[in-house]
Amino acid sequence: MGFFSRLKTLVSSNVNDMISKAEKPEKMLNQLLIEMSEQLIESKKAVAMAIADEKKLEREAENQRAQAQEWERKAMLAVQAGKDDLAKEALMRKKEYDSAYTEYRKQWEAQKASVDKLKESLKELQNKIEEAQRKKNLLVARAKRAEAQQKIQSTISSVAGNRSAFDAFDRMAAKVDQMEAEADASQELESLSSNASLDKRFAELEHSDSSADLMLMELKEKMKALPDKSNGL
């Protein structure tokens, strides 16, 4: 269990350091998953070694038990042969192996309990890594959306804070309005001038025709008053 405590401390330290320095969330998350995968591999190696130790203790305990049974069998043979002294020696050896078996059995049971806990911790770690992998894309999408919102807000704040640009835009709009008004006025004056010129021309024409008619009538009256020279001829 000490191994996983050290592992947790190491991972927490690495994660906190990476988060504090992170500029690209996607890059950081990918790196975190790599770190987790590497730690998972190391954890599996450690658990495998613990399992190997457990199996070794189990085999040794079984070997001690088998040796004890073998010396018991030999003691029985000695008794059958009427050699009690030899039987006693065999029983003493059996006792030694029984004691060793009991001790190995205790060690094996303790190691097995530890291995079971390690397996559970390893499974939990693997589940968390798998969950992190599933969440990575979602976190990346959220990070990109937040980054876009920050850029937009920064742009809006920058533009809103630059009043000179808006003032210049308003002045240009006013200038365009003035230009349009002046153009309309020029067009209207030109139209008025054209109409006045046309009226003047017709007035002159009418005046000219009236004067000619009057002069013609005066000439005819004058001619009537003259003596008729044709009779004298």
pLDDT tens column, 44-83: 999 999 999 999 999 999 999 999 999 999 999 999 999 9
Quote the tokens at residue 106.
């205790």
Q: Given phi > 0 = left and psi -120 to 50 = alpha, else beta, which region is 162?
A: beta
What per-residue confidence (pLDDT) applies to 211?
A: 65
Q: Is the dihedral of CA 62, 65, 70, 71 positive or negative?
A: positive
Q: Is the pLDDT of residue 22 over 60?
A: no
The string over 26-56, giving b where at least 16 C-beta atoms fall within 10 Å of a residue's C-beta and e elsewhere, is: eebbeebeebbeebbeebeeebeebeeebee
Stretch 202-219: mean pLDDT: 67
**Cα separation, 43 vs 58, whole angstroms:** 22
What per-residue confidence (pLDDT) applies to 37?
A: 87
Stretch 106-118: mean pLDDT: 95
**Cα separation, 62 vs 100, whole angstroms:** 10
**Cα separation, 193 vs 200, whole angstroms:** 11
Q: Is the pLDDT of residue 229 over 70?
A: no
Q: Which of 137 and 202 is assigned the larger pLDDT?
A: 137
pLDDT tens column, 24-47: 777 888 888 888 888 889 989 999
Q: What is the CA radius of gyration of the chain?
A: 59
- Nearest by Cα to 19 from 9, 36, 31: 31
User: Is the full-model pTM beyond 0.85?
Assistant: no
